Amino acid sequence: MKYKKTSLLIAFILVFFPISTVVGYENVEKISESTSAFFLVNLNKGELLEIKVESLEGGWFGLFLFDERPEETHVNFDGTLDNEIYNKAILYDIGNEPTLIYIAENTQIYYIQLILLENGPDTYIITSNRELSRYYLPQLHGYSIPILLVSVISTMVFLFVKYKNNLNE
| Domains of the chain, start order | 23-141 (2.60.120.380)
Q: What is the pLDDT of residues 97-108, one digit of tens each?
A: 999 999 999 999
- Residue 11's pLDDT is what? 57
Q: Comparing C-alpha atoms, which of 136, 127, 133 is closest to residue 63?
A: 127
Q: Comparing C-alpha atoms, which of 115, 125, 67, 63 is closest to residue 94?
A: 63
One-letter amino acid for residue 169 of the chain: E
Question: What are the b/e assignments for 9-21, b being 16+ CB within 10 Å?
Answer: eeeeeeeeeeeee
Instruction: Using the predicted structure, report yes or no on whether residue 140 has a pLDDT greater than 50.
Output: no
- Residue 76's pLDDT is what? 87
Q: What is the pLDDT of residues 68-91, one digit of tens each?
A: 988 888 888 888 888 999 999 999
Q: What is the pLDDT of residues 37-66, one digit of tens each?
A: 999 999 999 999 999 999 998 889 999 999
Q: What is the pLDDT of residues 8-22, one digit of tens each?
A: 556 555 555 544 444
Instruction: Using the predicted structure, report yes or no on whether residue 141 has a pLDDT greater than 90.
Output: no
- Residue 20's pLDDT is what? 42
**For the CA atoms of 106, 108, 109, 115, what is the dihedral angle to 10 degrees?**
-10
- Residue 19's pLDDT is what? 47
CB 140 within 8 A of CB 72: no
Instruction: Using the predicted structure, report yes or no on whether residue 139 has a pLDDT greater than 60.
Output: no
Judged by average pLDDT, the poorest of 3-7, 18-22, 84-88, 125-129 is: 18-22
- Residue 16's pLDDT is what? 56
Query: What is the chain's mean pLDDT, rounded?
Result: 82
- Residue 54's pLDDT is what? 92
Instruction: Using the predicted structure, report yes or no on whether residue 4 has a pLDDT greater than 90.
Output: no
